[in-house]
């Protein structure tokens, strides 16, 4: 047994100690059979107190505790990660008990749409509509662009001002750092925290309609795309992707001079549905139009959303989809993390470019280059 600061490492037969991040934030043992065990250590009594206070705060729906709990899950500090894990375990147990007791499942809704489609206005007014009916709603923003430009587009603006003052609403801007994997992981965990705090309707909002936005589709029950009535060529090109991923397309700004264009858009999208494979065996995607400004169509839209939730619960599809999603995410995180460790490994880093060039120029097959790199990484592996 070998001791490392903060972490206890278990050595199985042939294992290699790897630094998970350049900051040395986490240390992993990698076994011969590629089994990865993240070393852990018990929480001390102060840390346990922190976790208990946050958990009790969540149960009493304390918004400050909810915000702190989410911040904890976003931390990459090893001690904080340990606390986050302990808190998440309690939170998950609580959610599971609620589900088993009265089959009460939260409703996770992904909302995407190009900039300017009216997402903030929509969430502000839909949110108010729901909170006045006594619902508790959470809005979590995910800004995939923040992972490449280091800043959050959505965090910069003051959005949903009225809703943010509403005691029945909780709004959280996007985490501003980390790679997409990190951001989506934080969002997954933030959803659990919100649900533990009694926010039974959780909106996950992303800017844009592209590949990274569709990642959000894999963490929600219902994926909704909000589009403006006149989308131009760009939106036209994305139409197929939008239709393939969405349970519901909402044409916003169906008011005043834009009403006619909104109707045309609704018709066009409805027609193209005929040529699409249904996204679910129990639900046929719908195209609706609303005005977030005048609030027209919002109650009808909510009825359809509820119909979806009820159908998915009744048929068991919601539970089944969530199970699949969790499995997929687990492997996504593992893959992302291993790739990061691999690329940053000093034995690999300097050789990557050379191997890529060898492969590109035909001096080596892709398989051979991969084998060489993997041998540097796990010298005794049976490749």
Ligand X SMILES: Nc1nc2c(ncn2[C@@H]2O[C@H](COP(=O)(O)OP(=O)(O)OP(=O)(O)O)[C@@H](O)[C@H]2O)c(=O)[nH]1
Token pair in block for residue 293: 């400004």
**Cα angle at 178 between 197 and 351, to 5 degrees?**
145
- Is 207 a binder of ligand X (CB under 6 A)? yes
Rounded Cα distance between 154 and 123, Å, is 14
User: Quick one: 57 or 228, whose CB is closer to ligand X?
Assistant: 228
User: Quick one: 143 or 189, whose CB is closer to ligand X?
Assistant: 143
Residue 58 in 3-state DSSP?
helix
Q: By rule CB under 6 A, what string of x and - marks binding of each residue 222-261 to ligand X?
A: ------------------------------xx-x--x---
Within residues 361-380, the interface with ligand X by CB under 6 A covers none
Rounded Cα distance between 333 and 50, Å, is 26
- Residues in contact with ligand X, total (CB under 6 A)? 16
User: Quick one: 195 or 205, whose CB is closer to ligand X?
Assistant: 205
**CA 66 to mean position of chain CA atoms:** 17
User: Quick one: 84 or 207, whose CB is closer to ligand X?
Assistant: 207
Residue nearest to ligand X (CB): 118
User: Quick one: 65 or 111, whose CB is closer to ligand X?
Assistant: 111
Q: State the nearest-atom distance from the C-beta of 250 to ligand X, in Å.
A: 10
What is the side-by-side order of every strand in the sheet holding 286-289?
169-172, 137-142, 201-206, 107-112, 222-227, 248-251, 286-289
Rounded Cα distance between 42 and 118, Å, is 47
Q: What is the dihedral of CA 338, 340, 344, 347, to 10 degrees?
A: 30
User: Quick one: 290 or 341, whose CB is closer to ligand X?
Assistant: 290
Q: State the nearest-atom distance from the C-beta of 275 to ligand X, in Å.
A: 28
Of residues 293, 338, 364, 370, which one binds ligand X by CB under 6 A? 293
Q: State the nearest-atom distance from the C-beta of 117 to ligand X, in Å.
A: 4
- Is 151 a binder of ligand X (CB under 6 A)? no
Within residues 107-146, the interface with ligand X by CB under 6 A covers 113, 115-121
Q: State the nearest-atom distance from the C-beta of 119 to ligand X, in Å.
A: 4
User: Quick one: 15 or 112, whose CB is closer to ligand X?
Assistant: 112
Rounded Cα distance between 99 and 233, Å, is 45
Q: State the nearest-atom distance from the C-beta of 267 to ligand X, in Å.
A: 18
Rounded Cα distance between 164 and 141, Å, is 13
Q: State the nearest-atom distance from the C-beta of 296 to ligand X, in Å.
A: 8
User: Quick one: 99 or 164, whose CB is closer to ligand X?
Assistant: 164
Q: Is 150 left (phi over 0), alpha (psi -120 to 50) or beta?
A: left
Q: By rule CB under 6 A, what string of x and - marks binding of each residue 152-191 to ligand X?
A: ----------------------------------------
Q: State the nearest-atom distance from the C-beta of 121 to ligand X, in Å.
A: 4
List of E strands, the chain? 2-4, 7-9, 15-19, 27-31, 36-38, 107-112, 137-142, 169-172, 201-206, 222-227, 248-251, 286-289
Among 15, 10, 59, residue whose Cα is nearest residue 33: 15
Q: State the nearest-atom distance from the C-beta of 294 to ligand X, in Å.
A: 7
Q: State the nearest-atom distance from the C-beta of 359 to ligand X, in Å.
A: 41
Rounded Cα distance between 235 and 12, Å, is 54
List of E strands, 114-264? 137-142, 169-172, 201-206, 222-227, 248-251
Long-range contacts of 30-37 (CB under 8 A, 24+ apart): 30/378, 32/378, 32/380, 32/381, 34/378, 34/381, 36/334, 36/338, 37/10, 37/12
Tell me if 202 sits within 8 A of 138, measured CB to CB.
yes
- Is 299 a binder of ligand X (CB under 6 A)? no
User: Quick one: 230 or 366, whose CB is closer to ligand X?
Assistant: 230
Q: State the nearest-atom distance from the C-beta of 157 to ligand X, in Å.
A: 6
User: Quick one: 87 or 154, whose CB is closer to ligand X?
Assistant: 154
In the complex, which residues of this chain contact ligand X (CB under 6 A)?
A: 113, 115-121, 207, 252-253, 255, 258, 291-293
């Amino acid at each position: 047994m070998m001791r490392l600061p903060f972490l206890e490492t278990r050595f199985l037969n042939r294992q290699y100690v790897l630094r998970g991040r350049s900051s040395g934030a986490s240390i992993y043992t990698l076994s011969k059979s590629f089994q990865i065990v993240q070393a852990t250590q018990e929480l001390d009594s102060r840390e346990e107190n922190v976790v208990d206070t946050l958990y009790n705060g969540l149960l009493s729906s304390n918004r400050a505790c909810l915000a702190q709990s989410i911040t904890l899950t976003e931390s990459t500090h090893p001690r904080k990660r340990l606390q986050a894990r302990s808190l998440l375990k309690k939170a998950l147990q609580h959610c599971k008990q609620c589900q088993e007791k009265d089959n009460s499942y939260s409703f996770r809704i992904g909302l995407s749409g190009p900039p300017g489609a009216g997402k903030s206005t929509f969430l502000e007014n839909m949110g108010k509509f729901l909170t006045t009916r006594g619902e508790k709603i959470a809005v979590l923003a995910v800004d995939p662009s923040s992972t490449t430009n280091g800043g959050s587009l959505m965090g910069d603006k003051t959005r949903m001002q009225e809703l943010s003052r509403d005691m029945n609403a909780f709004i959280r801007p996007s985490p501003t750092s980390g790679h997409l994997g990190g951001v989506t992981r934080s969002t997954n965990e933030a959803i659990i925290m919100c649900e533990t705090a009694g926010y039974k309707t959780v909106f996950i909002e992303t800017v844009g309609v592209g590949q990274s936005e569709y990642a959000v589709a894999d963490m929600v029950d219902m994926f909704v795309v909000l589009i403006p009535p006149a989308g131009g060529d760009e939106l036209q090109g994305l139409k197929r992707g939008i239709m393939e991923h969405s349970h519901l397309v909402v044409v916003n700004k169906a008011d005043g001079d834009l009403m006619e264009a909104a109707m045309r858009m609704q018709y066009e999208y409805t027609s193209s549905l005929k040529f699409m494979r249904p996204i679910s065996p129990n639900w046929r995607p719908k195209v609706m139009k609303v005005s977030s400004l005048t609030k027209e169509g919002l109650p009808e839209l909510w009825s359809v959303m509820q119909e979806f939730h009820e159908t998915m619960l009744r048929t068991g599809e919601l539970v089944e989809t969530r199970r699949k999603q969790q499995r997929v995410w687990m492997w996504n995180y593992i893959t992302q993390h291993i790739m990061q460790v691999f690329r940053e490994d000093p034995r690999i880093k300097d050789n990557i470019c050379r191997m890529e060039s060898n492969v590109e120029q035909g001096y080596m097959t892709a398989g051979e280059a991969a084998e060489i790199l993997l041998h540097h990484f796990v010298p005794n592996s049976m490749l």
